[in-house]
Structure formats: C-alpha cells, structure tokens
A and B are shown apart, each in its own frame.
Chain A
C-alpha cells in the first residue's frame, strides 16, 4: 500500500480528547521534526482521513474514560480499515490510555463493560480510584538483529490489562511494570503500530524512538528537532529512573 501522494500527512485522532497529561508533547515534537508535514485533526464526529486515504502516521493520545468510550464508538465503523492499514505497515502510535480503545473490552469497576475495537487481544480493567504509577526504562527492538532502542517514560493509570503480549510487546522493561503488575512487557507492537501506556511527552524524551518512527514513515532525511536537548533530557531520565527505588508518588 503506497503512502498518500499529498506529502507527509499525520492524522491525529480526537485531539480534543487526547490532550491529557502532556501527551500533546508528542505532536508538538513531530511538528518540530517535520515542519512541512500536514497535520490532520480528526475530531469526534468527523470522517477520519484514514477512511479512504493513507496517512503517513496515525497518532492518538490519552483521554478520559468517558472520552475513551466515545472514541471507541466513533472508530467502530473504521475498525476494519484500521486493521487493513496496520497490516499494510502504516505507522501508528497510541499512547497513554488510548491503546485501551484497541482492546476487546474495557471493564468498569461496577462490572459493566465497554466494547473495544478488538484489534489487539487484551481486556482492560478500570480500577478507580486505585492509581498505578511507575517509571519505565525499556528496550525496543525494531527488528531481529537490529540495534535495540532505549525508551524511557512514565506510567500513570487507573487500569491494568489482562492479555498476552509475549510475542507482540513494544518494550521489554528493565525498570517498571508492563501490561499489568506481573508483567515486564510494555504495550503492543503490530507491524508499525505501537500501542503503549507510557504517558506524557514520550517522543520528546526519546529521540531514538522518534528516529525509528520517522524512518518507517519514509522521512529518513528529517532531522530530529533539538536533538541535543532531547538527548540530555532522555539521558537524565534514564539515569534517574535506574536508581534503586525510584518512583512516582501521589
């Protein structure tokens, strides 16, 4: 499947929802790296760009529980199209609580549930008011034999996931929990789809991961924005997060 002939197009799904906790930093950093790219903001009720075109990247960030339920409903008609694009290798990044929309269902504390898109095989358990906090240092291997990429990030969520990602994880965590507190495997990866619960400015803090994303988008000539500053921020986090007992607190 070829990319759009209209140049680089990054589709941001439900940006009016996905502005939680600094996840907006991801789009901010991509804009700095790709000043000539077109950013398509698809709001709730709009027909997604991806419905009949092929974006260079699909981005969806964390949102509230109510907004997740709405987003799952809004994307349901495009579920098969999303699968088609994922299978074709279109890069996608779902961060914060956004991956939960891709699972089979989300179970509320009162036992009721919300149907997910069923693109990834896991179930989300919302456990409000219990808050799960952690810092993460993990390794992303783009392809067997390729140089691993160190990724740092924060996890701040009400949810734990039930499912298996042993053969489809995003990160192998050196520090921090993964799909749930028993797991050290963070998120999912399916072709060039990355679904991760890492929240906040994931891309600004991880220049090597951005490099990989830009490359799979075909933007091999694009320069990392403020690379020195980004590397310093990344290295500081990696060093700090590795200190024994390092944690986030409420």
Chain B
C-alpha cells in the first residue's frame, strides 16, 4: 500500500459517506458501480489524490479489448495467488476508479489488497493519471469510438499521450501505428506484435479505416499486411514512419491445437513460449496476447501463465454465448454501440460462421431508449460494415431499436435485399419475427450495454423454439 498526499478532514468525510453509500447500495441490492466515487468527489473533489493506492497498479486502456484484457490479466494474477482489486464491477472513468479503491479500502483509506488491475477509459487519462500514476499501462489499440464523446483517434491519442508519465512501464501494440506512437516523453516502453497470419489482408479491412493517412504528416501509407482493420504493418511514403520493432512477437498460431507461440526478444536467446487460447478470432488473440505480455511484465513466469491458460483462465464467454435448443442454435454476440469497428468485427464473425443464419440486430443503446429526450448519433452506422451481412447464408435480418429506421436505410445502401429485412418495434416483436426453423443459427447482435436485454431475447427465442417443438 502506498500512502499519498496528506489526508484532510474532508477526505475522511468523503470516505465515510462513500462507505455509507456502498452499504445503502448493498441493502437495496443495487450495483451502483460509480456511486461511491461520485459521492466521494462531491465532498472531496481531489479524492483520488488523497486515497491510498495499492502498491502495484496496472491500467489497461485502448478503444477495443480493454475489458477482456483487464479481466484476463486479473484472472491470470489471481490464479497465481496474487490478491488484487479490479474494477470489473465498477466503471472505468475517474469515479469508477475511485469506487474500486474505496471498496478496497478501510475507513482510514488504507488499501487491503496490494495489487490493482483496472480498466481505464481513454478520455479519463486527463483526470486520473495526474493523481494516480500506474506502474504499468497497457494500451490495446486506438480506433474511432463513440464520436460524440471521443471524436477521433487523433484527439484521444493526444489526451492519453500527454498525461502518461515518463516512469510508467508502457505495454504498446506495435501493430497499431496510431497507439504505438504514444507518449514520446516516455522511454520505458515494450511492444508486442503478431507476425503474419494466414487470413491477413494486403490493406486495412472495412468500409472506413482509422489509418488511411500517416498520423504524423498526412502522407500516403503503404501496407505490408493487416491482421485486423488497420492493425498490421505499414510505412509512410513521405516521412518514413513505420511500426516499431516488438520485444514480444507472436510468431505462430496453431488453430487446430488452439495454441500460440510468443518469442521474447528482451533477453538473450529469444526464448519461445507456447500458450493456449479458446475461441479463435484475431481480436481474441490480441487480447490474450496483451494480457500475457502484461503478466510477464508483472513478473509471472511463462510456465505460470501457460498453466493458467491451460484450462483455468480464458476469455469470458459473455460476449459470445451459444446455446443449442432442439435443432436450432442461438448465439448472442456482443458489439459496442456507436463503435463501427466493434460492430464490424461482430458482423465479420457472423459471416464467417458456417451454415445459414438469421440475424437480430439490437444495437441501439438501451439506456438511451429509456431517456425520452436523448437521441443516438447515427453517423457510426456508416462506419460499420453492414456489407458483411450481404451474404447468401444470411437469410433474414430483424432490426429493432431507436435507430432501426436508419439501419434499414444503411442496409439498403449496403446492397442487402429489403425482402429479408424486418423492422420490429419491440424486442418481443423482433423475436416473434425470427424464422429460426429456416436457418441453422440465429444470431442476436447486441450492444454491450444491452446484455440483459439480449439475454432476455435469447431466452424468449429459446422458449419459442421449445414450445414449438412440443407442439409437433
């Protein structure tokens, strides 16, 4: 535990009030992930500077994959006997970080666990990092995210880069020519990179790309290959900018054996270690790789990591869950609302699945639908690859939610036959419209903020299938 600046009466009052808030939330069975931090900040605006912090703090950030990577790293450490606190149940903005530390603290502010592995929202570097400097910071990647909040990757890069201290050990993705340039003031960096994969493309994937021009000079980029969207290897034909050499390189992937091999170029002899993975997607590989590198940087041995990944630790299934109901298969697949990249990756996963498909799109934020005077920006629909659903195996698409009308138009522009598209006014109506008997799999693509709604929809469809089978 590390003591921070001198605590004030205001800090102790904030601590007491936030602890009382936790008690009230527990009594009323509410999660309220950020409430304790909100309460604390109301009383002590500089609360994060005043609360003690665990001895070793790791932040994981980046547009996509930070939650998965945080969870994996936490699980790896816990599986190897480390006591730690995470913000898995809290928020990833400043008040979420505070809430996590409050829950881990005594009333005096002293931390119980000596490790913290926390996901940190990119834009929240501004309020958090000046007050809580991590020992290790992992940045998974940078893509365009929610435009209303995060604008473009260049803007987010500027915020993140500015607030990273020179001392923090940075774990950066060498394959991302945007985020790998992070924090020029910091010389304590280590990079990870995936070598060529069989499914690589010669150019960035997707209808729009976050890296169509050099991020330093605007010049033309030449790509050698891309693994996932713009993640790959490129160079600027004007200024020569290119990806840095990586110290951790995933040299091979064996999809049949479900293993990947990492060569460590930090030490002599470049030892190679092989680890297991679960479901193969390039996004999953990157997340697992980033967590593995972070675990190595935290001191876990390759053997410890390999043992944990050999059955005990892997990517949680919440974002891709399948169930077999009679002869039908129902899959819920998470996307990220207002995030074209994440949605495109989900669509890409759907199109690469074998068999015929029905797809239910419930991508609008549920919380926005509950706010009668808040509207969702629809620009991201034009950055998402609806074209991936233009596949003869996709036999039906049902769309529901606040932006359904816009999505119907977007799908028409993608070339999808309007005859296979149904616009439903509610989730029950959407599920009732699914012609599950005519396809092998029904996919329910949902926004991560709609987990409960998606689960309910899958339950509803399963019940419908079961009832129909009983009637036969």
Interface residues of A (CB under 8 A from B): 15-17, 19-25, 28-29, 32, 43-45, 64-67, 70, 128-129, 131, 133, 135, 154, 156, 158, 199-201, 204-205, 225-226, 229-230, 232-233, 236, 240-241, 243-250
Query: Can you list 28 A-B pairs, Cβ within 8 angstroms, ordered by A?
Result: A17-B218, A19-B209, A19-B383, A21-B144, A21-B152, A22-B380, A22-B383, A24-B208, A25-B410, A29-B413, A44-B220, A45-B219, A45-B238, A67-B154, A131-B149, A156-B148, A156-B377, A200-B382, A201-B378, A204-B409, A226-B413, A229-B409, A232-B405, A232-B409, A236-B405, A236-B406, A243-B372, A248-B375
Determine the residue in chain A with the shortest Cβ distance to B215. Answer: A66
Return the contact of B378 from the options A45, A200, A247, A250 (Cβ within 8 A). Answer: A200
Residues of B within 8 A of A19 (CB): 208-209, 212, 383
A124 to B342, CA, bound (A): 33
Q: Which of B142-175 contact A (CB under 8 A)?
A: 144, 147-149, 151-152, 154-155, 159
A204 to B408, CA, bound (A): 12
- In the complex, whether B381 has a CB less than 8 A from a CB of chain A is yes
Q: How many A-B residue pairs have CB under 8 A?
A: 139
Residues of A within 8 A of B383 (CB): 19, 21-22, 24
- In the complex, whether B6 has a CB less than 8 A from a CB of chain A is no
Per-residue CB contact flags for chain B residues 397-428 toward chain A (1 = under 8 Å, else 0) read 00000000110111011000010000000000
- In the complex, whether B207 has a CB less than 8 A from a CB of chain A is yes
Return the contact of A244 from the options B219, B220, B373, B409 (Cβ within 8 A). Answer: B373
A249 to B381, CA, bound (A): 17
**Min CB–CB distance B328 → chain A (angstroms):** 30
Q: Is the CB of B212 within 8 A of A247?
A: no
- In the complex, whether B374 has a CB less than 8 A from a CB of chain A is yes
A169 to B212, CA, bound (A): 33
Q: Is the CB of A243 within 8 A of B373?
A: yes
Residues of B within 8 A of A250 (CB): 148-149
Assess A226 versus B148: contact at CB under 8 Å? Given A17-B213, A43-B220, A248-B375.
Answer: no
Q: Is the CB of A154 within 8 A of B412?
A: no
Q: Which of B195-215 contact A (CB under 8 A)?
A: 207-209, 212-213, 215
A36 to B178, CA, bound (A): 36
A25 to B418, CA, bound (A): 19
**Min CB–CB distance B18 → chain A (angstroms):** 24
Residues of A within 8 A of B155 (CB): 64-65, 128
The interface size bin for chain B is: 35 or more
Q: Is the CB of A233 within 8 A of B148?
A: no
**Min CB–CB distance A48 → chain B (angstroms):** 16
Interface residues of B (CB under 8 A from A): 126, 144, 147-149, 151-152, 154-155, 159, 207-209, 212-213, 215, 217-220, 238, 371-375, 377-383, 405-406, 408-410, 412-413, 418
Return the contact of B413 from the options A43, A44, A204 (Cβ within 8 A). Answer: A204
A16 to B217, CA, bound (A): 13
A131 to B373, CA, bound (A): 19
Q: Is the CB of B209 within 8 A of A23?
A: no
Return the contact of A230 from the options B159, B215, B409 (Cβ within 8 A). Answer: B409
Q: Is the CB of B213 within 8 A of A16?
A: yes
Q: 7 closest pairs, A vs B, by CB?
A: A22-B379, A200-B379, A25-B382, A22-B382, A16-B212, A245-B373, A70-B218
Determine the residue in chain B with the shortest Cβ distance to A70. Answer: B218
Residues of B within 8 A of A236 (CB): 405-406
Determine the residue in chain B with the shortest Cβ distance to A158. Answer: B151
Residues of B within 8 A of A154 (CB): 377-379
Return the contact of A44 from the options B213, B373, B375, B410 (Cβ within 8 A). Answer: B213
Q: Is the CB of A233 within 8 A of B149?
A: no
A131 to B217, CA, bound (A): 25
**Min CB–CB distance B380 → chain A (angstroms):** 6
**Min CB–CB distance B24 → chain A (angstroms):** 27
Determine the residue in chain B with the shortest Cβ distance to A246. Answer: B373
Assess A156 versus B147: contact at CB under 8 Å? Given A200-B379, A247-B373.
Answer: yes
Determine the residue in chain A with the shortest Cβ distance to B407. Answer: A233
Additional A-B contact list (16), CB under 8 Å, known A21-B379, A200-B378: A23-B379, A64-B154, A64-B155, A67-B218, A154-B377, A154-B379, A156-B377, A156-B379, A226-B409, A229-B408, A233-B409, A236-B405, A245-B373, A248-B375, A248-B377, A249-B148
Residues of A within 8 A of B152 (CB): 20-21, 64
Residues of B within 8 A of A43 (CB): 213, 220
A242 to B418, CA, bound (A): 29
Residues of B within 8 A of A128 (CB): 155
Determine the residue in chain A with the shortest Cβ distance to B372. Answer: A243
Determine the residue in chain B with the shortest Cβ distance to A199. Answer: B379
**Min CB–CB distance B420 → chain A (angstroms):** 14
Residues of A within 8 A of B219 (CB): 44-45
Determine the residue in chain B with the shortest Cβ distance to A245. Answer: B373
Assess A200 versus B377: contact at CB under 8 Å? Given A32-B413, A226-B412, A248-B148.
Answer: yes
A204 to B409, CA, bound (A): 8
A225 to B208, CA, bound (A): 21
**Min CB–CB distance A145 → chain B (angstroms):** 32
**Min CB–CB distance A201 → chain B (angstroms):** 5
Residues of B within 8 A of A17 (CB): 212-213, 218
**Min CB–CB distance A28 → chain B (angstroms):** 5
A65 to B153, CA, bound (A): 11
A25 to B413, CA, bound (A): 9
Return the contact of A135 from the options B147, B220, B375 (Cβ within 8 A). Answer: B375
**Min CB–CB distance A78 → chain B (angstroms):** 17
Residues of B within 8 A of A225 (CB): 412-413
Q: Is the CB of A247 within 8 A of B147?
A: no
Residues of A within 8 A of B126 (CB): 129
Q: Is the CB of B154 within 8 A of A65?
A: yes
Residues of B within 8 A of A233 (CB): 405-406, 408-409
Residues of A within 8 A of B409 (CB): 204, 226, 229-230, 232-233
Q: Is the CB of A24 within 8 A of B405?
A: no
Residues of B within 8 A of A45 (CB): 219-220, 238
